[in-house]
Structure formats: structure tokens, C-alpha cells
Structure 1
């Protein structure tokens, strides 16, 4: 299948990004035709006031992707703003998208509440799903890997495609489907959502020492006041980390040790550290070998491949809109 997905360059990636997105991308690229893009225009929809160095952050993001296992020989890696057809299609789709569709979008309402401290009452933020639709249908994506909370955006994309086809009597686009993927929600070290803004994240670039400094402060079962007190692993944040990063034998050992007080919280955290380190150490090592010249070449090559697909699609779109002419091949 043709798979399209993107990520905003707003800062360093953490374990939540790795589990929720990157691991899935690595699997998908082995069996599908994947286009992964740096969504720098999308970053501006909520962070336009943050004065982000998007060029630098873009390169760092691509470096993280490759270090985590995304292969530029298997997947097309490109930058959204370098392919101007995204903006061209975005403008055209905005002309036909009913305002009510966007205002009723539950994700829009949720984000307004979650980002209450930011001024995001902008046209760009409201029409975020239209730009997202452009990103997807420009490449004839058959499926988009998403979490459950993103389903409304894919439904809007399908509705926009159907409306375009109806208005211009020309089937130009592939109607995308959601590819619901397991996206474990890894809590931050304080029990809240893992986030840079909460200062509770373990980053892919953290050293073993930095990870331990953070992990030793992680919340555990509050009922285990003494080392000899038995605990409940299911209410322990560190046990959740074990379930994601440790093997089955270690997970069982930790659970039993917690329930019987055979191991203490510090010992449990040290074991968890080793499990996390087994995943992050090779990522850090691969990342160190990636120089800026190589990253630039990956982006340049990916942009060229994306441009070929995007420009061909926009030729068909413009024929449908301005010449009222449908190209059967598209």
C-alpha cells in the first residue's frame, strides 16, 4: 500500500514518539510504499510564536528517524514546505471545504482546551485538517497510520475527496483509509503525558547517566513506603516502562518481585534502565555517525521523489478545476 505520514519538528523526540510512531513506521516500510514527511508548516499552526529554528529542527528530526531505523532506501523522506504543491492543493481545497466541517471537528475543540495558554484562534489552526488532507491525497495515500484520536481528521479527508469529485465530476484522488496502529501512551516520569513542556520525558538522545537521573525520580506504588512492603505493579509507572521495553521474563520477574517485596523500587528501576538502554544505545550510536552532509542528501533525494509525484497529481487537479477536464489515468 501507499502509506503517508508526517511528524512536526518542534523539538527532541522522546520514548513516547518512539513507541507511538517510529516503531510502527519501521515495520510499515518493509512491506509498503512509504512517504514520511517533516510537517514544518503544521508546526506553525500551533507554534508560530515560538520562534523555532525549523531548518535545524527538520534536520535533527530526520536524523532521529534514520537512527531509529527509518531507511531512506525503502522510504521517501521529505520536507513539507519544500514541496509547494502541498500549499497549492491546500488553497484549492479550502475553497470547497464547508466551515462547519472544521468547526465541528472534535480534535479542534480538544486542542483549543489543551492549548488554552496559546493564541491559536487562527485560520491556519482551524484549517489544519485541510492541509493534512492535502498532504495525504497529494500522494494517493491508501492508508494513514494514526491513533484513535486522529480518526476525525481522516474522515474529514474522505469527505473533502468526495466533495471534490462531486463538484468537478472527476475522480482525481484516492480516498484514504485509517490504519489504526497500536500507539501505547507512555506516561511521563511524573505520571502525566510525556511531554517536553512538562519536563518529564526521556529523550532518544539521553545518555545512560541522564536516563538514570530521570528514572530514579519516577513515580512508583505509593503504598510501598518501606523496602519490605509488598506492592501492586499495575499502579507503578516503572512497571509500565518494563512492559514496553523489557522481555517477558523480566516483566514477570518484576511483577512477582514487587508483589512479594522480593525486589525494591530502586532495584526495579535499575533493571528498567538496562532494558531502555538496550533500545536507545544503538539508536544513539547510529545517530552519532550521521553527519549533516548525509542528512542534506537524504532530504534532497526525498524531495525530488516527492516532487515528481506531487507535481503530476497537481496537473490532474488543475485540469479538473480550471479546464473542467478529467484525465482518466488519474
Structure 2
């Protein structure tokens, strides 16, 4: 589904793991859509610190500290806490209780077949030494989604299997009780940027690969990152025709430059020959400097008052708990666990 398909009746649930500041891949893939969505429907933004611990046990301070960093990124890009509910996952215990019930609706073999989980297990080299919390994360994510009766979950293509498994759990639960309680969700994959490559051109932008450009990057960091960007290794002379496909600079121009016609002309010129890498990198740097400067400035302003950020998170978490508590009560009543 597309952004234009969202209506005022939809409930959005999305969020980020708190293992580092957010980067350009997050911005083009989801953050700028969240800013638009907050004026269109009800939106919950989850700071997924509990989920981050599924493969970061021992890095407690890193996970904790980045709750504040991600919250700063949200505010800096224009997310309004009066319009979107920003909350801390670990402070909503209703989610954990829901996940414990959902684990009875899914088998170990089904969890192991989840393509997203399989890929991430391979990436981390777990083989059979898989943390149980990591393996069972699809049930926890189902709790995150269903607790707010979300109808839409913005995700990258690699996360679609997680939404499919959530809906399997929803259907299985609803079929086991007299009156259906839970709601199925639809995945919304960004039209642009879901797979924004890293500045090295070798993989999608990822904190773990060190090929990112954060939203708080300084002017010099932006300049250096653009200089390092992968272009066309066979474009040795300005006069040589160049390849646009697989060229990271053009991928970023497509994602971020507001002048679509200019980018189109640059591509045609580059493919014909006569346009150097330095020129297209200059266009990209100017674009990114203009994009990130106000974000960086707003972030620095918010960072001066961490107490206000924590107060905002406390308020948002309280709102989230109220909503999740209603869903949990309905789920327990459906199962006959409302004893008194």
C-alpha cells in the first residue's frame, strides 16, 4: 500500500531499535512519512529498547542512552509529540504479557522459518546458539502491533514476513475465541529509500556496517561522506560514458534532491560522457547540507533540555499504556481470564 492510501481511520504503529542515532536511510525510508502521517491519522512511535536487548544483552547503557538519542532524532525531523504518541517499549509491560500469550499460538519451527529471522540469524552468525528472545521476537512484535490495534505498519521489504506472521497470530487467536478481538495489519513499504545503499555501495545503509550518514552529521562529516561515495569504477575520465545503475551518488540524488528534472539531466549527461564525478558529488553535497543543517540545529536545541525530552517520553508512554491496557483486558476476557 502507498502513503496516499492511508485514511483518518487508520492507526499506525512504527518505531526504531535504540542501538544508535538514526541515519539517512531511516529518514528517506520512514521518518519523513511519519511527519506526514501524524496529520492524517493516529500514530504510535515505539522506542524499541526491549527488542534491542534481544541481541545486545550486556550493552545496557548503549541501549538506554540511545532512547534519548532516537527521541531527539524524531523531534528534529518534525515529529510532534502532541500529534504522535512516542513511547518506550520496556515501560509498557502490557506488551510483554500479550507476547507471552501469543507464544502459545506459534511453533518453534514456524519462528525458525520466518525469512526475516533466518536472514538476521545468518548475519549475526548465531547458527544454533540463538538467544531465545531473538528467535521469539515475531511474537513480541505481534504484541507491539496488536496492542494498539494498528491497521498499518510501515516497514522495509525485508520486514514483510514479520507482518505476515503477526497476522497469522491474529487469525489464530481470533479463531480460538467466541468474539474476535485482534485486528490484522497491512504493511506499508516506502516507495523510495527502503533499500538506500550505504555510502560504500556494498549494502543497504546500516549502523552495524559503519556505512551510514547520521541525521546529526556535521557539515564536515557530510562533505567527507560524499567524497567517499562509490560511483562508477569504470568512469576513469570525464569524457567516458558513466553508469547510473549501482552508482551510489545517483541513488542518493534520486532519494533526496528536490529537483527531479535536474537529476534526470545529470543522469543523461553522465551516461553520454562529459560529466565528472566531482560535479555530481557537488550537487549531492549541496542537497544534503541543505537538508541536514536545520535538522542538526533543531536537534542541538532539543538536546539542551534532556529533562524535557524525558518528560515528553513519560507522557507518551502513559498514553500508550492506557491503550495497550484496554487491548490486554479484551484479550484476557476473550480467554476467560477475567476472574474478578
1:146, 1:179 within 8 Å by CA — same for their partners in 2? Answer: yes
1:212 aligns with 2:223: yes
Trace 1:1-330 onto structure 2 (pairs within 5 A).
Answer: 1-116=10-125, 121-184=130-193, 185-193=195-203, 194-246=205-257, 247-290=259-302, 291-323=305-337
**What runs of 5+ residues in structure 2 fail to find an aligned partner?**
1-9
| Off by >4 Å, runs of 4+ in structure 1 | 117-120
Decide whether the 8 Å contact of 1:46 with 1:120 is kept in 2: no
1:328 aligned partner: none
Give me the whole-angstrom Cα distance separating, in 2, the residues matched to 1:228 and 1:297: 58
2:215 and 2:295 in contact (8 A); partners too: yes
CA distance in 2, matches of 1:36, 1:88: 20
Shift of the alpha carbon at 1:211? 0.9
8 Å contact from structure 1 (residues 21, 183) kept in 2 = no
Asked if 1 retains the 8 angstrom alpha-carbon contact of 2:115 and 2:161, the reply is yes
* Cα RMSD, aligned residues only: 2.0
Deviations 1:107-147 (A, max 9, x none): 12111112216986021111100000000111111121122
**Cα deviation, residue 263, structure 1:** 3.2
User: Contact 1:37–1:79 at 8 Å: present in 2 too?
Assistant: yes
1-side partners of 2:191 and 2:11: how far apart? Answer: 19
| Per-residue CA distance 1:4-56 (angstroms, 9 max, x = gap) | 11210111211111111212212222211001110111111122244442221
Note if contact 1:93-1:130 (Cα within 8 Å) is conserved in structure 2.
Answer: yes
More displaced 10-residue stretch of structure 1: 91-100 or 107-116: 91-100
Equivalent-residue separation in structure 1 for 2:126 and 2:140 (angstroms) = 24
Shift of 1:83: 0.7
Instruction: Report the CA distance shift for 1:138/1:313 in structure 2 as closer, same or farther (over 3 A).
Output: same
Kindly state the Cα deviation for residue 183 of structure 1 after the two structures are TM-superposed: 4.7
* Counterpart Cα distance in 2 of 1:99 and 1:119: 13
Q: Secondary structure at the match of 1:289?
A: helix
SS at match of 1:216: helix
TM-score (ref. length: structure 1): 0.92
1:168–1:244 distance in 2 versus 1, CA, 3 Å: same
TM-score, reference length from structure 2: 0.89
| Farther-moved stretch of structure 1 (68-77 vs 52-61) | 52-61
Change (3 A) 1:165 1:197: closer
Question: What secondary structure is seen at the aligned counterpart in 2 of 1:234?
Answer: coil
CA distance in 1, matches of 2:60, 2:311: 26
Task: Call closer, same or farther: CA 1:119–1:271 in 2, change over 3 Å.
Answer: farther
Name the CA distance, whole Å, in 2 between partners of 1:103 and 1:251: 43
**Closer/same/farther in 2, CA of residues 145 and 82 from structure 1, 3 Å limit:** same
In structure 2, C-alpha distance between the alignment counterparts of 1:277 and 1:118, rounded to whole Å: 42
